Amino acid sequence: MALRCVLRACGILGYDLNGETSRLVLAIAAEAALQEESENSEGLEPAAPSAFDWLPSLWRVWGHTKGGLCTQAFLAVLMAAGRWQSLSLQDLRLRMQAALQRSGLEAAVTFRCSRELEGSLDQALSSAQTARALLIGLCYKEDEELRLEGSWNDVQDMRSWLLRQGIVREQDIRVLSDSSGDMTMMPSRNNILTQLEWLLCGENKCFGAPHGCCSGELPEEHLEAVQLLLLFAGHGDHAELLPSDWRRAGPIREREVSVLVDDLLPEGARLVCIFDCCDSSQMLSSLLRYRA
């Protein structure tokens, strides 16, 4: 892993994913700064009128500790849209940004993709015979400097939505959270990377084969559709994700995640990543060239 990261950083080894038609990765991020506000909501400057004024204000509906900006805006838009599958990626991005702005936030919602994708959201996210989800939520309850309030809610809300929509079966959703003392479910550096390998390859540990579990070149029409979803809700910093043990084990760097995705994502797979953390727009930036 470390050698592949170095070779790619030096430009000696490239990424295979960009421009491929048999594999798709979509990374969704939202970065926002709270405007100056008084002790009540009347201190917020109203957002300019837009075509999305029907969207709810997230804080007025849920309060300040409901969850992260990206996850809650994503879910709010999809639940309000009804037939969300027909939303274009451009509409989804604009509606997420509008929902955040109506909540008194100057938000920048960014979508990165492994290829040009101008159609509807169901090209990247829909039900499939094989589907897995990895949901990671950190509130850093033992770390006073980093403590968060809503990341556990993000995980539970995303899990509930995936099950209601029939996108992923309950047995195919794995959750890492620091909400309990169970060390096997703790979002430590090692656990996150191990479970990311499970997300990409399932129980088949064919890591020596190109593109994860597919060792041969198959025509696109014969590839099995695989739907994967990754949610990280916690802290990020300069293209690094902070696991629960980051002070001891170190952060998870963007290039580590990019290398895993590029090497292990199987043929025919669609991967949607939602990074709900600071500097989230930088995640997978070395892997994904296209802005959706």
Does 62 fall in a domain?
Answer: no
* CA gap 211, 146 in Å, rounded: 36
Asked whether residue 55 is domain-assigned, the answer is: no
Query: Residue 223's pLDDT band (boundaries 50, 70, 90)?
Result: low
pTM equals: 0.83
Residue 17 lies in a domain: yes
Task: Give me the domain span that covers residue 199.
Answer: 2-27+124-291
Structure tokens at 72: 């809650």
Residue 240 sits in a domain of what CATH number? 3.40.50.12660
Q: Distance (Å, rounded) from C-alpha 227 to C-alpha 200? A: 10
The domain tally of the chain equals 1
- Condensed to tens digits (0 to 9), the pLDDT of residues 137-180 reads 999 988 888 889 889 999 999 999 999 999 999 999 999 999 97
pLDDT, tens digit, 9 for 90 and up, residues 84-142:
999 999 999 999 988 888 877 777 899 999 988 878 899 999 988 899 999 999 999 88
Lowest mean pLDDT among 10-19, 38-47, 197-206: 38-47
Main-chain dihedrals φ then ψ at residue 241, nearest 5 degrees: -100, 140
Asked whether residue 83 is assigned to any structural domain, the reply reads: no
Q: How many CB atoms lie within 10 A of CB 180?
A: 9
If you ran DSSP here, which 8-state letter would residue 91 be given? Answer: H
Q: Tens of pLDDT along 241-277?
A: 999 999 999 999 999 999 999 999 999 999 999 999 9
Question: Does residue 106 belong to any structural domain of this protein?
Answer: no
Amino acid at 211: H
Q: Is residue 115 part of a domain?
A: no
**Dihedral of CA 265/164/67/39: which sign?**
positive
Specify the higher pLDDT residue, 258 or 14. 258
Evaluate whether residue 100 is within a structural domain.
Answer: no
The number of C-alpha atoms within 13 Å of 275 and in the hemisphere containing its C-beta is 28
Is residue 94 a part of any domain in this protein?
no
Cβ pair 10, 255 in contact under 8 A: no
